[in-house]
Copies of this chain bind each other. A is one copy, B any other.
Amino acid sequence: MLDKSIQVGIIGLGMIGGSIAKTLSKKGFKVFASDINENTIKNAINDKEICGSLEELDQDINFILIFTVPVLSVGEELIKNKELLSKALLVSDGLSVKNSLKKEIEKNKFNTENFIFSHPIAGSEKSGYLNSKEGLFNNKITVITKLPHSTQVAIDTCIDLWSLLGAKTINLNLEDHDKYFAQTSHLPHFIAFALISMISKSEDPKKDTFTGGGLKDITRIASSDPKMWEDIFISNRLNILKAIKSFKSEIDKFEKLIEEKDAKEINQFIKNAKNFRDSLT
């Protein structure tokens, strides 16, 4: 278990960072944070959801640093907090794409002994500090990715941190992480954005009336934050383009069955899909 004397520094107080802050503060930890929006920090201090700004963290006492900013802002934030990086017991993150984070670390030649990457699978179409909440990670999975020089202390601290936050950790290497999430998260978002975009351009006057038959369900995630997703599409571009290619080939096959009025094969296609979907817990 993590000792309560360990301080926590959070860079980026959005939905993920904010939820980490609220949960750990409630458990008695001293949490300090920075955010691009200074009012967020002021309000969080006023509401006693954090102890103070990141500058107030005492560098002579053990601390953990967590970067929860949009994927392509992390480079800049790492450099800004360079001094803290080397002193931290653990440096982690909450990002959905890992290769760009790794590139920034290599480019800046940071010592990575205390780095373990984290990706809590707890996101939704909501974003921002206002949508953060204590307990967000309860019974969720956090994917952790070790770096070649990660120490056992850093690994243990990271697992303890997520256990304290209520999440179970699963190990995944960096390449697999970015490949899997391209398929199971980034592609679904790509599709939801494209489908909603297509409907929004329709000239039908009642295009926003009959949306209860599936459209609203399938496109809930199209309400996600544009800056966050711009960064994901750019930074995990190659894996995402590969996933899009597979998806296009699958819709071509299914479309052909409909063109050919092949009832039996349409039924089989749906049955196979339903069976796999029903098996997901």
A202, B215: Cβ atoms under 8 Å? no
A273, B184: Cβ atoms under 8 Å? no
Q: Collect the chain B residues with CB atoms within 8 Å of residue A61's CB.
A: none
B233, A266: Cβ atoms under 8 Å? yes
A196, B276: Cβ atoms under 8 Å? yes
Instruction: Decide if A190 is an interface residue (CB 8 Å cutoff).
Output: yes
* A interface residues (Cβ-Cβ under 8 A, vs B): 96, 121-123, 140-141, 143, 170, 172, 176, 179-181, 183-202, 204, 206-224, 226-227, 229-230, 233-234, 237, 240-241, 244, 246-251, 253-255, 258-259, 261, 263, 266-267, 269-274, 276-280
A184, B123: Cβ atoms under 8 Å? no
B211, A280: Cβ atoms under 8 Å? yes
Provide a sorted-by-A list of 27 A–B residue pairs whose CB atoms are within 8 angstroms.
A96-B213, A121-B213, A176-B204, A180-B209, A183-B202, A183-B215, A184-B210, A185-B213, A185-B214, A188-B213, A188-B219, A192-B214, A193-B270, A193-B273, A193-B274, A196-B276, A198-B247, A199-B276, A200-B276, A208-B279, A211-B280, A217-B220, A219-B277, A220-B277, A224-B274, A226-B274, A234-B266
What is the interface of chain A mostly: helix, strand, loop, or mixed?
helix
Q: Collect the chain B residues with CB atoms within 8 Å of residue A208's CB.
A: 276, 279-280
Task: For the complex formed, measure the closest distance between the CB of A97 and the CB atoms of chain B, giving whole angstroms.
Answer: 11
Q: How many angstroms between the C-alpha atoms of A261 and B259 in the bound complex?
A: 34
B230, A267: Cβ atoms under 8 Å? yes
Q: How many angstroms between the C-alpha atoms of A248 and B151 in the bound complex?
A: 47
